[in-house]
Chain A
Amino acid sequence: MSTIQPNIEQPVSEEMQLVRRAKRGDDHAFEELVRRYDRNVFRIAQHITQNREDAEDVVQEAFLKAYSNLEKFQEQSKFYTWLVRIAVNEALMKLRRRKPERTVSLDEEVKTEDDSLPREVADWSPNPEQNYNQAELRDILTRTIQGLPPGFRTVFVLRDVEGLSTEETADALELSIPAVKSRLLRARLQLRERLNRFFQKKGNGNGNADGDESSGDGNQ
């Protein structure tokens, strides 16, 4: 989990050593950076574009851009965060090209408060994902996250799937920290709401949790 990282001078990280070697023209060092992060970039790109070919293009373009702009990379942030920022921008551009009718922006206005208030409160089975085989589960998860606005699913993927900190996510997306937090909350709640119908406990009849003999809390 995220811990508080003291902002003091640290010994040069292995990553930064690779970056410096790459800056001096060592292509093997750059290739090592590709090896390190290609899986992450691909995952992020596919989550944003929802398209396999586009994701492949994004991976190539993002690394190529990083390579040719390496001189401009300031060593104040992590290389990975910088790379993610490039990849997210490339992915959003792809998405805009495919879906020009929809505004695709990370800044899109967040709707009213009530919008993300849970409508349906139903408990889930203990390990609800185990009620589905791997292919089914994958399908459910993919289609569910596809339904979120791009700005929400991007924040969710960076924070909760890739494990970037709130600060790194804000940095990579050029958003403020409160904006990241608010999008993350909405993304999480909306995903939860949409997963209800797959994961909710069976046999609740009308889905009303009042007065059922739910076990577990507070009867000791």
Chain B
Amino acid sequence: MKCSEFLNELTNYLDGVLDARTKSELDDHLAWCHNCYVVCDTTRKTIEIYRDSELYELPDDLRTRLRSAIMSKCTASKKSQPPGS
């Protein structure tokens, strides 16, 4: 297996959606190819870091404000357009 072939399967490998044979071919490649090992490992870390980062959490006060704005707009839209049309 070439490095480029490994990379093409990297996403499936990390997501654990490969059949057993392909997976073991990739495992074999990782065992001797240090570059792909590092790429695979740091890509996994990239995903984990973003997943755990809690970027863009919605602050509670803003959340409340948005929700009441949404609900009052929804109610207003219902009044202007009777249901069952």
Interface residue ranges, A against B (CB under 8 Å)? 1-2, 25, 27, 30-31, 34-35, 38-39, 42-43, 46-47, 55-56, 59-60, 63-64, 67-68, 113, 116-118, 121-124, 128-129, 137-138, 141-142, 145, 156, 160-161, 163, 166, 181, 184-185, 188-189, 191-192, 195-196, 199, 209, 217-218
Docked CA distance A188–B42 (Å):
10
Residue of B17, B43, B62, B66 touching A192 (CB-CB under 8 A): B43
B side interface size, CB within 8 A: 44
Residue of A34, A39, A185 touching B10 (CB-CB under 8 A): A185
Which 7 A-B pairs have CB atoms at the shortest separation, nearest pair first? A46-B56, A185-B11, A42-B58, A67-B74, A192-B46, A121-B35, A63-B70
Residue of A43, A122, A161 touching B58 (CB-CB under 8 A): A43
CB of A128, distance to nearest CB on chain B (Å):
7
Contact assessment for A184 and B53 in the assembled complex, using a CB-CB cutoff below 8 Å: no
CB of A154, distance to nearest CB on chain B (Å):
13
| B1-19, CB < 8 A from A | 4, 7-8, 10-12, 14-17
Docked CA distance A138–B37 (Å):
27
Q: Which residues of A contact B78 (CB under 8 A)?
A: 25
Selected A-B contacts with CB under 8 Å, 11 pairs? A34-B71, A39-B58, A46-B56, A68-B77, A124-B42, A160-B51, A161-B50, A184-B11, A185-B11, A188-B11, A195-B46
CB of B54, distance to nearest CB on chain A (Å):
9
Q: Which residues of A contact B62 (CB under 8 A)?
A: 56
Contact assessment for A60 and B7 in the assembled complex, using a CB-CB cutoff below 8 Å: no
| Interface SS majority for chain A | helix
CB closest chain-A residue, reference B9: A185
Residue of A113, A163, A217 touching B37 (CB-CB under 8 A): A217
Q: Which residues of A contact B41 (CB under 8 A)?
A: 123-124
CB of A18, distance to nearest CB on chain B (Å):
14
Task: Evaluate whether A30 and B58 lie within 8 angstroms (CB atoms) in the complex, with A188-B11, A217-B34 already known.
Answer: no
| Interface SS majority for chain B | helix
CB of A79, distance to nearest CB on chain B (Å):
15
Interface residue ranges, B against A (CB under 8 Å)? 4, 7-8, 10-12, 14-17, 31, 34-35, 37-39, 41-43, 45-47, 49-51, 53, 55-58, 62-63, 66-67, 69-71, 73-75, 77-78, 81, 83
Q: Which residues of A contact B38 (CB under 8 A)?
A: 121-123, 209
Q: With A2-B15, A118-B35, A184-B11 given, can you name 4 additional A-B contacts, CB distance below 8 Å? A: A39-B57, A63-B70, A124-B42, A192-B46
Contact assessment for B50 and A160 in the assembled complex, using a CB-CB cutoff below 8 Å: yes
Q: Which residues of B contact A38 (CB under 8 A)?
A: 58, 63, 66-67
Contact assessment for B63 and A161 in the assembled complex, using a CB-CB cutoff below 8 Å: no
